[in-house]
Structure 1
Amino acid sequence: MEIQPVSPQGSSIPTKIFYPQQTVRCSGPAAFRNQLARDIACLLDVDDDVTSWSCLSEALRYGGEVYFPDLLVERESCRTLIQADNRCEGAPTWLIEAAHLAGFEIQILARPDLPDVRLRNAKDLLRYARYEVALDDRVRLLAALEEHGTLTVAECLSVFRNVPPIPGLASLVLARIVAIDLDDALIAPETIVRRYRG
C-alpha cells in the first residue's frame, strides 16, 4: 500500500508500508521508502542505545534543495541521521555535507552492512510487539531469573499463563525487561534469557 506522508513544508514524500508493521520505539508514523530502510528500523528497535527513532522527519537543505533522510535516531549521547543506500533510489550527493552543516552525525547503510542473524531475530520479535504481559506473568519470570540467574527460552515458557508464551517473552525482550543474545544464532529453545541490565 502506497502512502504519501506530507513534510512540514507541505511536499509529499513517496513511501510504502513494509513488514513487520509493528514498532517499539518509533515516534510518529512508520512509513518507509524501501525495505532496506524498514530493516534498518527493525535493528533500531532492538538497539539498547536507541531511545527513539522517526521516519523522514528531519529536512536537510542545501542550496535550494530539500531532502528528508530515511531515519532520525535519538540516543542518549547524540542524534544521528541514517540514509538507506538503496541503489535504485539515489540520495542527493550533498547529503553528508548538509548533515554535518546541520550538526548531525550521519550514516549511509547498504544491505551488506546489516547483521543477518540480528535482523532475523529482530523481525521475529517485532511480530509480537503489540502483546502486553500481565503483571503476574512478568513477576513470575523475573522471580525465576532472580533465583536461577539465567534460564533458557524453553524453561521460561511455563511461567506465562495470561498470554501465549512466545509472544509474552518477545514482548518482555522488546520492553527491555529481559535480555537475550540476538547476534550469535537464531532464537531457539536453548537461547539464554537473563534480566535486562541497561
Structure 2
Amino acid sequence: MMTEPAHAAGDEACDFPNYRPYFPFLTLKCVGRPLYRTRDARNYACLLDLDPSVISWRCITYALADSHGPERYYVDFMVEKDGEHLLVEVWDRDPGNTEWISTLAEQFECRYQAVLMSEIRNQPRLQNARDLLRYAGYDAALGDRIRILAALDELGSLTLAECLSAVRDGRPMQTVAAMILTGHIEVELDEELLGPDTVVRRAGR
C-alpha cells in the first residue's frame, strides 16, 4: 500500500497543467479520475484494463516528493496487482538510467516500471483494447447473452460475425464487446486485429 505522502495530494489534486482525458473515455479498473499526461499514457491504460493480472490502477496527477531531498518526479500510474504495487511511467524513448526513480518508488512501497511505447505501439493487442474499451459500460441484454452462450455451448466456438448476427435485443457490436469486457466470452487479442473471422469462445473453455 502506498504511504501517506503519496495519498496526501488526493484524487482531485493535479499540479501538472497538461493532464486531460483522452478517448476512449470509459475505463474498467481505474480508481479516481482518468486524466493523463499524454496520449501514449492513455493508450497504455487500455492495456491495464484488459490485463487479467491488474486489480486496479489510478492516474498519478501530482509530483512524487523524495522524503530525503527536494527532488520531485512525475509518473503516470499506480498499478495494483496481486502481491505488489507498481509506479508506472510511460516513455516514448529509452529512459536510460532509472535507478533514482526506482529508489524513490521504494519509499512508496512500490516497484518502478518504465514502459517504452515504441515497443508496443504497433502491437494488435493495443488497437484491440482501444476498440473494445469504447464500449465499456454497456450492458448486454439477457436474451442476447443467453443466445450467444447457448450457441457456444453447443458448437464450441463461433466467429465474431456469427456472434453479431445472434444479437436481437441490443446493439450487436456493443453487446459482443460488453460480453468480452465482462469475461463472458473471450477472443485472441494478441495475434491480429479483431475481424469478422475472429474466433469467439466461452470464457474459460
Q: With the length of structure 1 as denominator, give the TM-score of the two structures.
A: 0.85
Which of 74, 79, 100 aligns to 2:106? It is 100
Following the alignment from structure 1 to structure 2, what is the Cα–Cα distance between the partners of residues 58 and 78? 21
Specify which of 97, 119, 142 is matched with residue 149 of structure 2: 142
How do residues 85-164 of structure 1 correspond to structure 2 at under 5 angstroms? Answer: 85-86=91-92, 94-114=100-120, 116-164=123-171
CA distance in 1, matches of 2:200, 2:136: 18
Q: Classify the secondary structure of the residue corresponding to 1:107.
A: strand
Residue number among 34, 49, 53 corresponding to 2:38 in the alignment: 34
- SS for the counterpart of 2:43 is helix
Structure 2: how far apart are the matches of 1:65 and 1:177? 46
What amino acid sits opposite 2:127 in the alignment? R
* Change over 3 Å in CA distance of 1:98–1:172 after alignment to 2: same
CA RMSD of aligned residues (A): 2.6
Corresponding residue number in structure 2 for 1:69: 75
State the partner residue of 1:7: 9
For 2:153 and 2:48, the matched residues in 1 are separated by 28
Unaligned runs of 5+ in 2: 1-7
Partner of 1:166: 173
Evaluate the alpha carbon distance shift between residue 144 and residue 99 of structure 1 in structure 2; reply closer, same or farther with a 3 A threshold. same
If the length of structure 2 is used for normalisation, what is the TM-score?
A: 0.82
Task: Answer with 59-68 or 144-153: which moved more.
Answer: 59-68
Whether contact under 8 Å (1:54, 1:71) holds in the other structure is yes
Stretches of structure 1 lacking an aligned partner (at least 5 in a row)? 1-5
By how many angstroms is 1:94 displaced?
2.8
Whether the aligned pair in 1 keeps the contact of 2:144 and 2:167 (CA below 8 Å) is yes
Tell me how far 1:36 sits from its aligned partner.
1.1
- CA offsets 1:72-92 (integer angstroms, 9 cap, x no match): 1122232212101146xxxx9
Report how many residues are paired: 191
Closer/same/farther in 2, CA of residues 57 and 140 from structure 1, 3 Å limit: farther
CA distance in 2, matches of 1:11, 1:142: 44
